[in-house]
Amino acid sequence: MPSVRRLSHEFLERQGLTTFFGNPGSNELPFLADLPDGFRYVLGLHEGAVLGMADGYAQATGRPALVNLHAASGSGNAMGALTNAVASRTPLVIVAGQQVRSAVGPEANLASVDAPALMKPLVGWAAEPACAQDVPRALAQAVFEARLQQRPTYLSVPYDDWDAEAGANALPVLDRRVQRASAPSAEQGRLLAERVASARRPALVLGGDIDTAGLFDDAVRLAERLGGPVWAAPSLFRLPFPNRHPLFRGVLPAGIAPVSRAFEGHDLVLVLGAPVFRYHEHLPGPYLPEGTRLVQVTEDASAAARAPMGEALVADPGAVIDLLLKTLDSPSGPVGAYRPAPEPPTAEGPRLHPEEVFAALRDEMPEDTAYVVESTSTNSAWWRQMDLRRPGSYYFPAAGGLGFGLPGAVGVALAQPDRPVVGVIGDGSANYGVTALWTAAQHRVPVTFVLLRNGTYGALRWFGGLLGVPDAPGLDIPGLDFTRIAEGYGVPARQVTGAGELRAALAERTDHPRLLQVDTELTTPA
């Protein structure tokens, strides 16, 4: 009879889960013993960075990723990053080490007291198996729950379990397959198609899930068939639609009143692959204008249930797009040409305007570049300049928790070695996941970090104005030099001055990580 460890490794191998992102402690070592050939362990130096890298990797591969964390202290360190993975619906399987069974009750050092409870508000499923023989089945459940719920899961395993004998009834788990199908019924499909076909002025709102599910190009086909405006859902974490497409109206502002204003004059708003809605700024008002009906299609049952208005259909947005493409008539005319970006403003003195930086990225980087963005005050500058036409072009921390950007870029680049990857990172944001620079250097991940240094928490200055708090302390961050920080972690770095120098640097292709620090002028997010 194989050991629990042997059987668990075999199960992970059969599921294609052979890349670990982790940071080990004593409790984890027995799980990591005798790893079969073909397993890869990506070491992160802080658990927040571990989780951010795994999140980027899982999103870019479209498959679950395996995370190995230390007990309460390690898992706790990962928790901020976990908020993003929950909001982006990233299937992460987190396996954490626990003290030996007999030492948990007496609370020996590094015992995690009630380990599942620690993670439960965030993960979709958390458990510590009741006995060693249940570990392989519980691990399988962690993998299947993550896939079915599209949410991180958490399994805490006492470390003496791994050497135990698995037991004969543990073997069938190796051959399990668990799948989901979620097309609407014929009747649901007919009603939805009728409603869309009979709308006078339909509008489309697309969420990050559209890109995650590989529906970017299908969404374009649907929009062109409908011929109406397309918005991206508020608090966007993946781009679901080409941002310079003639039908694209931009990312909806993350406030109740402005969203409602955007929908004025539309009798139907069809929301695909998004919660309704992830507002941020509290700008109260009616949820919808008078006479506007909202229909949400999402695979996320909780997002359907918790929406404060509208109708919802819990179904695969891809199946619904297919169905609408089959039933809707062709549009009456062409939709028009892609809109060119405006000339970027130039800044006074040695600093660059963020729009100059983004115009340089747009012009100098290949069209299929994937951008992982964590720069908060430059949001509107970003969308004014960028021209993103490919699936998987844009990633942003989905819950707004900083610490995703820098590690996430490493994870995306590890997942897609042939695709150029740029991390656009603020001088505030960089600090929350900065240790991922070391992992990038060790694995020679060819990612370019463009570090925007404006010396402040720019977005919070803007929020200070919005909230009537002009004098809050703790918003400036002078004295940071990321060229020296990056060099210390093993990533070649330099200060870049002027748009010409930036363009020339970006045009150089490299096969290793690098960091370009650019001093930028302060702008506002909206």
* Candidates 62-70, 115-123, 277-285, 376-384; binding stretch for ligand TZD (CB under 6 A): 376-384
Contacts of 39 (CB under 8 A, 6+ apart): 9, 12, 13, 18, 19, 20
Query: Does the annotation mark 355 as catalytic?
Result: no
What is the Cα–Cα distance from 162 to 428, expressed in whole angstroms? 41
Q: How far is the CB of 518 from ligand TZD (least distance, A)?
A: 12
* Candidates 102-110, 280-288, 360-368, 420-428; binding stretch for Ca ion (CB under 5 A): 420-428
Q: How many residues touch ligand TZD (CB under 6 A)? A: 20
Beta bridge partners of 488: none
In the numeric block, the tokens 């079915």 are attached to: 148
Q: Name the phi and psi angles at 86, rounded to 5.
A: -65, -45
Alpha helices in 343-404 (DSSP H): 354-364, 379-385
Contacts of 297 (CB under 8 A, 6+ apart): 192, 270, 271, 272, 273, 312, 313, 315, 317, 320
Q: Tell me which residue has its CB nearest to ligand TZD.
A: 426
Q: How far is the CB of 361 from ligand TZD (least distance, A)?
A: 16
Cβ count within 10 A of residue 309: 15
Would you say 41 and 22 are in contact if contact means Cβ atoms under 8 Å apart? yes
In the numeric block, the tokens 């299929």 are attached to: 368
Would you say 162 and 154 are in contact if contact means Cβ atoms under 8 Å apart? no
Of 242, 259, 426, 204, nearest in space to 341 by CA: 242
Which residue among 47, 356, 374, 521 is the active-site one?
47
Which residue among 207, 400, 433, 458 is the active-site one?
400
* Candidates 84-92, 234-242, 369-377, 384-392; binding stretch for ligand TZD (CB under 6 A): 369-377
Largest CA distance in the chain: 73
354 lies in the site for Ca ion, by CB under 5 A: no
Length of the chain: 526
First-last CA distance in the chain: 62
Q: Name the phi and psi angles at 297, rounded to 5.
A: -120, 120
Query: Does the annotation mark 26 as catalytic?
Result: yes
Q: Give, in order, the Cα–Cα distances in Å from 252 to each of 149, 169, 449.
A: 26, 52, 27
Query: Does the annotation mark 47 as catalytic?
Result: yes
As a whole number of Å, the CA-based R_g of the chain is 24
Show the site string, 437-466: x = touches Ca ion by CB under 5 A, - = not: -----------------x---x--------
Which residue among 3, 9, 22, 28 is the active-site one?
28
Q: According to CB under 5 A, which one of 74, 189, 407, 426 is a site residue for Ca ion?
A: 426
Look at residue 299 and give the partner it binds from Ca ion, ligand TZD, none, a contact being a CB closer than 5 to 8 Å depending on partner kind. Answer: none
Q: How far is the CB of 234 from ligand TZD (least distance, A)?
A: 15
Would you say 307 and 296 are in contact if contact means Cβ atoms under 8 Å apart? yes
Q: How far is the CB of 356 from ligand TZD (least distance, A)?
A: 15
Q: Which is nearer to ligand TZD, 129 or 405 (CB)?
A: 405
Q: Which is nearer to Ca ion, 164 or 460 (CB)?
A: 460
Cβ count within 10 A of residue 240: 31
Site for ligand TZD in 441-500 (CB under 6 A): 454, 456-460
Q: According to CB under 6 A, which one of 64, 80, 129, 240 is a site residue for ligand TZD?
A: 80
Per the rule left: phi > 0, alpha: psi between -120 and 50, beta: everything else, 194 is alpha
Q: Which is nearer to ligand TZD, 136 or 411 (CB)?
A: 411
Look at residue 242 and give the partner it binds from Ca ion, ligand TZD, none, a contact being a CB closer than 5 to 8 Å depending on partner kind. Answer: none
51 lies in the site for ligand TZD, by CB under 6 A: no
428 lies in the site for Ca ion, by CB under 5 A: yes
Beta bridge partners of 516: 450, 494
Look at residue 153 and give the partner it binds from Ca ion, ligand TZD, none, a contact being a CB closer than 5 to 8 Å depending on partner kind. Answer: none
Per the rule left: phi > 0, alpha: psi between -120 and 50, beta: everything else, 508 is beta
Show the site string, 417-436: x = touches ligand TZD by CB under 6 A, - = not: ---------xxxx--x----
Alpha helices in 15-92 (DSSP H): 29-32, 47-61, 72-87
Q: How far is the CB of 463 from ligand TZD (least distance, A)?
A: 8
Look at residue 184 and give the partner it binds from Ca ion, ligand TZD, none, a contact being a CB closer than 5 to 8 Å depending on partner kind. Answer: none
Q: Which is nearer to Ca ion, 458 or 525 (CB)?
A: 458
Which residue among 9, 70, 266, 443 is the active-site one?
70
Which residue among 13, 224, 280, 311 is the active-site one?
280
What is the Cα–Cα distance from 230 to 209, expressed in whole angstroms? 15
Per-state percent for the chain, helix, strand, coil, to nearest 5: 40, 20, 45
Q: Which is nearer to ligand TZD, 17 or 361 (CB)?
A: 361
Query: Does the annotation mark 290 as catalytic?
Result: no
* Candidates 115-123, 174-182, 397-405, 497-505; binding stretch for ligand TZD (CB under 6 A): 397-405
400 lies in the site for ligand TZD, by CB under 6 A: yes
Q: Summarize as ranges the residues that interact with Ca ion (CB under 5 A).
A: 426-428, 454, 458
Q: Summarize as ranges the residues that interact with ligand TZD (CB under 6 A).
A: 80, 375-378, 400-403, 426-429, 432, 454, 456-460
Question: Active-site residue numbers?
Answer: 25-26, 28, 47, 70, 280, 400
